[in-house]
Every structure is written in structure tokens, then in C-alpha cells.
A and B are shown apart, each in its own frame.
Chain A
């Protein structure tokens, strides 16, 4: 059964450093998402991506964040200058069609020190 994969599973970085979180969505899916879950809090929507552009983003997704689909398989989330409060689990998800069920990857735990 196809699944969403994410790398790395855990990333430790120092405050102010740039990080790139990588995702490989399910191959025939067209809609891609990033969510995050700060420890003990809700899963929060960050951004959706379709047809090589951002289709929707939350207020969390400020200028420090960017997304890219650099090739036909990868989908990345870049945080330009990490802050302590960026420490969270980041989930990638993909969907076959608009509004349909989303399939989530196992997540990347980002720790900013």
C-alpha cells in the first residue's frame, strides 16, 4: 500500500539555523500539505500546495517558512531561521483530490536548541 514518507525522523538544530524537512507524497496525489503538532497541543494546519503553488496558508506560515516541490516526487518545508518555538512534530500529508481524505507521513520531530 502506498504511503507518505518523511525524512529525517528527528532533526536537532540550533536557533537561527535553516532546516529543510523532506516528504515524498503518494505518487498519484496532487494536493500536498504540511501540519505541525507542538507537544501537548493540537495538530495545526500550516500550508496546502497544488499545481506548484501555495493554495492556502495559516497565520503561522510566515516569511520564515517556504515550501517547494523541487522534482516530481519530493515536497519540502524550509524554515529559514529557526526559533525555539518552532520545536514540534511536522507532518506532511497528501490527497488525491481537493477536499478528499489526506494521508499523513510519520512526521519529523524538530528540536530547536
Chain B
């Protein structure tokens, strides 16, 4: 069964600082990996996705993530955080193959940005 772990429940950074949110997954084959962001009272917005190919993927809002198969990780990074990045971030793994695309989510990381 697929699973996702986000070790950090809450992270606080200063505006302008760099950011890395951790995500570890468990899946038997090559996973499809996603990062979503949820602002208070809002739905889930897709930040970026990995299916295959280049292991460093670029997303919206200046975010990027790197797939490391050897570490079963898909960490999200941003070189300089803006106050508007404060939100909850979810890593998700999707099953390929014969699956119809069920996503399994991590428990989320709440990002607080200090001015």
C-alpha cells in the first residue's frame, strides 16, 4: 500500500529565507508525486508534479521539488519565501499502472512566515 510521510507538522521561516519541506513516500513501483498547497478556507492547488524524466521539477510560485529514488523522497524547496506563501502544504503519491489515480496524502506541513 502506498503511504506518504511529512515529518514536519509546522515550520516557521522568515520572509526572504529559503525553505525546504520534506516528503517521504512508500510505493512499490515508480510513483507519481505531487505537491499541493491549501490556504485557509481554500481548496487544494497543484504546485508541481513528477511523473518521470528529469528529477528536478519546477512548479508555480517559484517552487521546485527533487525526486530522489534512493531516499524515497520528494522534497519541496523555494529559495526565497514570501509572506503570501504561508499556507498548508501537502505531498501526495499517486499510483500509476492499472490504478485509476487514487492519491494518498501526507498529513501536511503548516508554513508560517515571519516578516
Contact = CB atoms under 8 A, between A and B. Distances in A.
Interface stretch (B63-71, B74-82, B102-110): B102-110
A42 B108 contact: yes
B43 interface: yes
Nearest to A3: B43
B101 A48 contact: yes
A48 B90 contact: no
A48 B97 CA distance: 15
Contacts of A50: 100
Interface stretch (A13-21, A72-80, A94-102): A94-102
Given A91-B43, A106-B42, A98 B100 contact: yes
A48 B102 contact: yes
A99 B43 contact: no
Of the four ranges (under 10, 10 to 19, 20 to 34, 35 or more), the interface on chain B belongs to 20 to 34
B101 A98 contact: yes
Interface string B35-63: 01000001111100101000000000000
A106 B104 CA distance: 19
Contacts of B49: 101
Most chain B CB neighbours (cut-off 10 Å) among A4, A42, A50, A105: A42
Given A43-B90, A104-B43, A106-B43, A99 B103 contact: no
Nearest to A100: B101
A58 B108 CA distance: 20
22 contacts: A31-B101, A33-B101, A35-B103, A42-B106, A43-B44, A43-B92, A43-B105, A45-B102, A45-B103, A45-B104, A50-B100, A93-B44, A98-B101, A99-B32, A99-B97, A99-B100, A102-B94, A102-B101, A104-B36, A104-B46, A106-B42, A107-B43
